[in-house]
Amino acid sequence: MKKNQGFSLVELIVVIAIMAVLVGVLAPAYLRYVEKSRKSTDVSSISDIMAAAEKVAIDPQFDLAAGSKFTLSGTGTLSMDVTVASTDADNPALDEWKAIAGNGYTCKSKEFKAVEMSFEGTLQPAGNVTWEIDAEKLIAFSPDFAKKWQS
C-alpha cells in the first residue's frame, strides 16, 4: 500500500500563483463596482432630499410663500438651509423640518466627498420648486439627475 503524502511544493506554488493572478484581475473590477454603487447611492440620496424639500414647499402645514429658498450645499456633507420669504419664519413645523434636514447627508463616494456641491431651489408662485444646480461633476456622472432637477 502507498502512503498518501499530500501536495508537493510545486503544486502548492502553482495554486498560489493562479490565485494571485485571479485576485490581481478581479480586485480592481470589484473596487470600481463598489465606487459606482456609492456614487449611485449619493445621487439617489441627494434626489430624495430635494424631493422632500419640494414636498415641504407645497405642504399647507408649512404655508411657505413664493420666493422661499431651499439650499442644499456643502463639501462631503450636504446640509439643507431654508430661507423663508414670508412672515412664517416662526412656524414650528418648519423649524422641525429644518432641524431634520440640517443634519445633512454625508457623501459616500470618494469623488463626491471632495466636491463642493450647491443646489438652490426656489418656490414659484405656481407652487413648484425650480432648482439651480452647481455641481458639474455630479451632472457629468448622472445626466438624468441633471435633467430631472435643473430649471
d(CA 124, CA 87): 17
d(CA 27, CA 94): 47
Along the 151 residues of the chain, how does pLDDT read in single tens digits?
667 777 888 999 999 999 999 999 999 999 999 988 888 888 888 888 888 888 888 877 777 778 888 888 888 788 777 777 655 556 666 666 666 666 678 888 887 777 788 888 888 888 888 888 766 656 666 777 767 766 5
Q: What is the pTM of this model?
A: 0.71
Domain boundaries, the chain: 9-149
At residue 86, the pLDDT reads 59
CA dihedral in degrees (128, 132, 137, 143; nearest 10)?
Answer: 40
